[in-house]
């Protein structure tokens, strides 16, 4: 039995991106791994004991999950706890593996092996997406975390190639583990529930949907310009944009005013998963013109809800979505408007995209993600592989 520690302290109260990954991974590990003991360090407001179905008694001889609450008032406090306090916990627990699922890992040495998940390297590829201090921190922390790792997990083949190129890791040190839509995201038949969600968020009768943090890399500005062109052609649906406010979000609100779209665009802010699933089911079309993704969960969630998808040609999206979405140049508002209009007007195309989207979403599951992650833990502990990898990257 392995004793595996997972640092889930980076999960925010409103789960998006890496937070969604960590939360769903922990639940799936609890479902599929009946052999190992897990110690999940998390802020109390992000996990509850009922999220982990297998209790862990003080002296456990078998598989279990134990939630270790950590109260951290700020991001700076989390960073300090990770470096100074977490290694003390790992020594006390006799941890065999530490999984750091959000780029960074403690610098302190220890007997435990390290698995580090890298979600993307946008802080190198698209530095304008980040404030200068945050960009510098993630660039340095990801380099250090990747080189300390016995195994690095990349969430797509695209990210693996970027990690090898920009962080200098040997390809054999990086394992690709795909993500998946959460259990909330599926076809819904509860018309009363969906009507309640429509009313709760004041959604229009027909609408195009986008989901993502309001920041430049998600490229909602190009979507707004494409939508303006569509309104000029007399197309009826409104536009609903779901996601929390991020870096430079004010520019989007100004652009809405400049284009005269105030009555046609609805910003909902962050939505919990169950409400978001209903919104996916209510929409006519999902549009995702992101400039870069490490994986791209929102379009896959949309597909799992039977929604046709138009997405960008970003490499990870092409990898994950395959031929189940219509892919267009994310920097061309005319091409985006043309693709959206084509899907809205072509019933047969919409039907094909829905069918292929459901099939494609079915290829991914959190249980498979969990099993592949356990394999990464085991690989980190394999002496021949670990020693060879350590020698090739640590000098």
Domains of the chain (ranges, CATH numbers): 3-180+366-394 (3.40.50.2000), 191-361 (3.40.50.2000)
pLDDT (0 to 100) of residue 304: 98
pLDDT, tens only, 280-310: 999 999 999 999 999 999 999 999 999 999 9
Please identify every stretch of the chain with a pLDDT value under 50, giving residue numbers as ranges: 59, 384-395
Mean pLDDT of the chain: 90
Q: How far apart are CA 264 and CA 228, in angstroms?
A: 10
The pLDDT of residue 219: 95
What pLDDT was estimated at residue 34?
A: 86
pLDDT of 387 reads 39
């Amino acid at each position: 039995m392995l004793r595996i520690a997972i640092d889930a302290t980076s999960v925010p109260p409103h789960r998006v991106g890496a937070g969604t990954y960590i939360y769903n991974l922990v639940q799936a590990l609890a479902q599929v791994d009946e052999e190992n003991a897990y110690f999940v360090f998390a802020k109390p407001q992000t996990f509850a004991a009922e999220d982990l179905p297998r209790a862990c008694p003080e002296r456990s001889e078998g598989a279990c999950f134990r939630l270790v609450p950590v109260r951290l008032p700020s991001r700076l406090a989390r960073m300090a706890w990770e470096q100074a306090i977490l290694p003390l916990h790992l020594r006390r627990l006799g941890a065999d593996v530490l999984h750091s699922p959000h780029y960074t890992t403690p610098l302190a040495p220890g007997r435990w092996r390290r698995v580090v998940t890298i979600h993307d390297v946008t802080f190198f590829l698209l530095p304008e997406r980040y404030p200068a201090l945050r960009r510098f921190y993630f660039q340095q922390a990801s380099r250090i975390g990747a080189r300390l790792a016995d195994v690095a997990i990349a969430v797509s083949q695209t990210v693996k190639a970027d990690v090898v190129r920009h962080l200098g890791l040997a390809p054999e040190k990086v394992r690709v583990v795909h993500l998946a839509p959460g259990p909330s995201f599926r076809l819904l038949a509860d018309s009363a529930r969906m009507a309640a969600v429509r009313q709760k968020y004041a959604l229009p009768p027909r609408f195009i949907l986008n989901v993502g943090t309001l920041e430049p890399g998600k490229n909602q500005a190009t979507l707004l310009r494409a939508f303006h062109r569509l309104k000029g052609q007399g197309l009826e649906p409104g536009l609903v944009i779901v996601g929390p406010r991020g870096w430079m979000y004010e520019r989007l609100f100004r652009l809405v005013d400049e284009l005269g779209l105030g009555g046609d665009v609805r910003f909902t802010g962050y939505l919990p998963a169950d409400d978001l699933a209903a919104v996916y089911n209510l929409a006519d079309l999902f549009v995702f013109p992101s400039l870069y993704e490490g994986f791209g969960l929102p379009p896959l969630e949309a597909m799992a809800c039977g929604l046709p998808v138009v997405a960008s040609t970003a490499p990870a999206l092409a990898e994950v979505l395959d031929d189940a979405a219509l892919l267009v140049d994310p920097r061309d508002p005319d091409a985006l408007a043309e693709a959206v209009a084509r899907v809205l007007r072509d019933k047969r195309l919409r039907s094909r995209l829905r069918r292929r989207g459901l099939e494609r979403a079915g290829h991914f599951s959190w249980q498979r993600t969990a099993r592949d992650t356990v394999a990464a833990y085991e690989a980190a502990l394999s002496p021949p592989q670990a020693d060879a990898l350590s020698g090739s990257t640590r000098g």
